[in-house]
Amino acid sequence: MDIRMLDNNDAPKAKALWKQAFGDSDAFTDTYFENKLRLGQTGASDEPARWNEAVVGESIGLFDGGDLVSVVHMLPYAVRVQGRPLKSAYIAGAATDKARRGEGLMKKMLRVSLEWMRDKGVLMTHLYPFKHSFYEKYGWATYSYVEKVSAAGAGAAADIIETRDSRLLHTMYHNMTRELDGYVVRDARMWRWRLSELFSDGGKAYVLLKEGVPAAYMMAYDDDGRAEAVETVYACEADAGVLADGLLARGYSEVRYNLSAKSAAFAPHGMARIVDAAALLKEFGAEDALESVRVTDAFAPWNNTGSPNAPYSVEIAAFAKIAHGDWNLPGIGDRRQAVLINAFGSVFRKRDACIFEEY
């Protein structure tokens, strides 16, 4: 078996594996690969705030006898961490051929992807998983949660428009996320990508107007008469409900959407992982924390760092939650939590997090 970066000649095999794993249409898959995965082309700024200006993401493939049997795509996003943009590689389309699942191939691929990210200076990586427990085994941690809502019935009339204007959507996106953490800092290119994917597969962007002012939007697909919203942004939660009622009044039998939630009492959503623990602490000026707390990582051993005499340790998954300001750390006793707060709390402050990108 051979693991290497994919190039343009591998595109047909990579697309076939994508469609096998996710069931997306040819139009969506072609649009996605054209925008984000021009295989074999690279280039990115080293500055976190301009990381989104990367030409494309990169893809790693595992080949066996000439067949592409497993792949991980890594997309360059700037993600807001503790109020600043941080370079992240968003793992997308991680898939193994159905006939080869259960062999541990994805475990190998994820380790190689982390090594690639570290070489690129990426400090954290993010993803929206198909199964949270799968990634938890390898050091990823849930850092954002959603309340899943299903609206049905007759609904109620509302002032709703359809739009393709990314500037209109961006204003609402910015207003909702500016006090949050863990979301993609979108620029014009990211908006083109997002909307081209939506429209290529028949999706629509619905906007609720209140006295002529945009108050909420949903990016949604029609699923046999049901509206499946893949992104819901709002000034307040009640506005999302009004928009859902308006879509029901338009003829949808059901509207399914997510509200950004603030605690683990709700459904787990986005996940994060530390790629380079020592470099992340240096980035935030928190190297002194390693005198009292060691970082441990069973999957990516280069992250095992800190004084061997440090009396306490923190596992890499818990560290990812802490970095995003999620101090809900199950299984950590009060004394240990107090030590962690003393070591990291002044730098990694408690924050509410959200994430929208699902690929």
Identify the CA nearest to 17 among candidates 65, 63, 58, 77. 63
Task: Give me the mean pLDDT over the 112-121 stretch.
Answer: 94
pLDDT band at 270 (very low <50, low <70, confident <90, very high): very high
CATH 3.40.630.30 fits 2-122, yes or no: yes
Residue 149 is predicted with a pLDDT of 96
- Alpha-carbon span 216 to 175, nearest angstrom: 11
Distance CA 194, CA 75 (A): 13
Whether 20 has a pLDDT exceeding 50, the answer reads: yes
Tens digits of residue pLDDT in 226-240: 999 999 999 999 999
State the amino acid at position 327 in one-letter form: W
Give the model's pLDDT for residue 333: 82
Q: What's the pLDDT score for residue 55?
A: 44
- Alpha-carbon distance 146 to 258, whole Å? 6
Is residue 84 within 8 A of residue 123, CB to CB? The reply is no
Tell whether the model's pLDDT for residue 5 goes beyond 60: yes
* Domain 146-261 in the same topology as domain 2-122: yes
Name which of 22, 18, 62 is nearest 37 in CA terms: 18
Measured distance CA(40)–CA(336) in Å, rounded? 47
Q: DSSP secondary structure string, 72-107?
A: EEEEEEEEEETTEEEEEEEEEEEEE-GGGTTSSHHH
What mean pLDDT value characterizes the chain?
Answer: 91
pLDDT digits (tens, 9 = 90+) for 81-113: 999 999 999 999 999 999 999 999 999 999 999
- For residue 80, what pLDDT is reported? 95
**Does 245 or 50 have the greater pLDDT score?**
245
The SS3 of residue 316 is helix
Measured in whole angstroms, the distance separating CA 209 from the mean position of its chain's CA atoms is 28
Q: What do you get for the CA distance between the two ends of the chain, in Å?
A: 27
pLDDT value at position 32? 87
Q: Model confidence at 330, in pLDDT bands (50, 70, 90)?
A: confident
For every residue of 258-275, DSSP letters joined together read EEEESSTTSEE--EEEES
Sequence-distant (6+) residues with CB within 8 A of 133 are none
Q: Where are the domains of the chain?
A: 2-122, 146-261, 271-344
Rounded Cα distance between 228 and 17, Å, is: 24
Q: Which CATH architecture has domain 146-261?
A: 3-Layer(aba) Sandwich (3.40)
Can you tell me the distance from the alpha carbon of 279 to that of 275, in angstroms, rounded to the nearest whole number? 9
Q: What is the mean pLDDT of residues 9-28?
A: 93
Residue 47: band (very low, low, confident or very high) from pLDDT cuts 50, 70, 90 = low
- pLDDT tens string 283-297: 999 999 998 999 999
Per-residue pLDDT, 307:
87
- Computed on alpha carbons and rounded to an integer, the radius of gyration of the chain in Å comes to 21
Which token pair is 27?
């139009």
- pLDDT of 332: 82
